[in-house]
């Protein structure tokens, strides 16, 4: 009768067992790799072995993409962002991008991620601002929008509110002249975003009039953050 040969023990080094990471169950490998950044996944992890690559290209790894605060890296971040969006296979739910944003990149994301729930980015010019609005108009499921900009028009926010009825969180960070972010912007928010739960305004030029309109027309608002909004006086009941 043939004898059964016991499996060889793991290789040893300095008296300790060495684990073969490629033999981990896929679900355990996924739980480890999902903690890495998109850059680490694309540039390093997927090149370790075939089993890791299979996990790295699984669409479930790309439900959330964060490509912010990457100054100093030599990679083509826009190309990498497009690749990450492709890997999501339409399942992308949350994405955060930085100043390398272009109108074409925003369009690329919107056309391939119709179920997107959260969009956050930093940008610097009116051309990209317009691209943002056009992209957001293609994202009816959007629940959170976090943008930094030089200037924004009330017409743009009206389009955002009309296109995204599920919007719950809006964060507007004005990096330019706060005079462009005035009561007209506040009224646009009040008139078209009644379901807001969380609103953050940074360097916005709204006055008590605009703030009152938001408070009256957004009854579900639970968190209101006002930073460097110097035209608000907060007198009477508003100051309590």
Distance in angstroms between the alpha carbons of the first and the last residue of the chain: 89
How does pLDDT run along the chain (240 residues), one tens digit per residue? 444 444 444 555 555 555 666 667 778 888 888 888 899 999 888 888 888 898 899 999 999 999 987 766 667 888 999 999 999 999 999 999 887 788 899 999 999 999 999 999 876 566 567 788 889 999 999 999 998 877 778 888 999 999 999 999 999 988 766 555 688 999 999 999 999 999 999 988 899 999 999 999 999 999 999 988 888 886 555 444
C-alpha radius of gyration, the chain, whole number: 24
Q: Please give the DSSP secondary-structure letter assigned to residue 6.
A: P
User: Which pTM was predicted?
Assistant: 0.82
Could you give the strand order of the β-sheet that contains 223-227, starting from the edge strand earlier in sequence? 64-66, 94-97, 118-122, 144-149, 169-174, 198-202, 223-227
21-57: CATH class: mainly alpha
CATH 1.20.1280 location in the chain? 21-57
- Tens-digit pLDDT profile for residues 188-220: 999 999 999 999 999 888 999 999 999 999 999
Q: Give residue 157's region: left, alpha or beta (phi > 0; psi -120 to 50).
A: alpha
- Tens-digit pLDDT profile for residues 30-58: 888 888 889 999 988 888 888 889 889 99
CATH 3.80.10.10 location in the chain? 62-239
In CATH, the architecture of 62-239 is: Alpha-Beta Horseshoe (3.80)
């Amino acid at each position: 009768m043939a004898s059964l040969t016991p499996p060889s023990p793991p290789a040893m080094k300095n008296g300790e067992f060495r684990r073969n990471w490629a033999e981990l169950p896929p679900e355990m490998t996924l739980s480890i790799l999902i903690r890495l950044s998109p850059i680490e996944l694309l540039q390093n992890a997927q090149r370790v072995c075939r089993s890791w690559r299979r996990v790295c290209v699984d669409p479930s790894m790309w439900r959330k993409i964060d490509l912010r605060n990457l100054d100093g890296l030599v990679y083509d971040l826009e190309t990498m962002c497009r690749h990450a969006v492709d890997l999501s296979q339409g399942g992308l739910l949350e994405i955060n991008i930085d100043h390398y944003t272009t109108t074409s990149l925003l369009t690329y994301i919107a056309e391939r991620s119709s179920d997107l729930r959260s969009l956050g980015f930093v940008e610097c010019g009116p051309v990209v601002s317009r691209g943002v609005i056009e992209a957001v108009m293609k994202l009816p499921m959007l629940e959170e929008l976090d943008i930094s900009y030089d200037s924004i028009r009330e017409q743009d926010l009206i389009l955002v509110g009309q296109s995204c009825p599920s919007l719950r969180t809006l964060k507007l960070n004005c990096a330019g002249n706060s005079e462009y972010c005035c009561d007209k912007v506040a009224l646009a928010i009040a008139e078209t975003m009644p379901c807001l739960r969380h609103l953050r305004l940074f360097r916005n030029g709204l006055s008590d009039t605009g703030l009152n309109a938001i408070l009256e027309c957004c009854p579900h608002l639970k968190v209101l953050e006002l930073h460097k909004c110097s035209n608000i006086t907060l007198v009477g009941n508003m100051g309590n």
